[in-house]
Amino acid sequence: MASLEFEGYANVWWEEVNKKRAKEDLEPIDTWEEMQEVMHTRFVPTHHKRDLFNKLTQLKQSFKSVAEYYKEMHMTMMSVNVDEREEQTMARFLNGLNIPIKRIVEFLPYTNMVEFFIKLQGRAPSARRLSKCKVQELLRRNKCNECFLKHKEYKCKCLQ
């Protein structure tokens, strides 16, 4: 059983749970599901799920790579058991992308997340490049072949 791996406070807490259940003539916890429920009740704050939903609705790419941003979004969705259609997930994902990458994505035909990543691979500027560029300034210029933003390549501050 998983409780054999408990150490320190977790072990003391688990022994106390079992003693209390025995005193109250309750059945011992003998399934993983029951154990998860007891541990969740004790160790996860009531606001935890709400906080994760808030994080998910406000999640933005910012200085993360596209892959890092997607991974964070996907892990948060799994944490709160979000069950939505792929179109909804894609809309959520696209909404949080940085504007220069959104503009690249507008011209890529795709029908699902896998196809999206395959087509985007190698076309999006890296997070490091984006953090060095002044995005508003770059969007006013012509398209750069190096970082795909709107400025001339020889003026690209991403390369400096």
**Pick from 50, 49, 55: which is nearest to 73 by CA?**
55
pLDDT at 159 over 50: no
Per-residue confidence (pLDDT) for residue 9, from 0 to 100: 92
Q: What is the mean pLDDT of residues 90-101?
A: 90
Q: What is the mean pLDDT of residues 140-146?
A: 49
pLDDT at 29 over 60: yes
Output the pTM of the full model: 0.60
Interacting residues of 44 by C-beta distance below 8 A, sequence separation 6+: none
Measured distance CA(23)–CA(49) in Å, rounded = 32
Please give, one letter per residue, the 3-state secondary structure of 23-86: HCCCCCCCCHHHHHHHHHHHHCCCCHHHHHHHHHHHCCCCCCCHHHHHHHHHHHHHHCCCCCCH
pLDDT tens across 37-88, in order?
999 999 989 899 899 999 999 999 998 888 899 899 999 999 988 988 988 9
Evaluate whether 129 touches 64 at the Cβ level (below 8 Å).
no
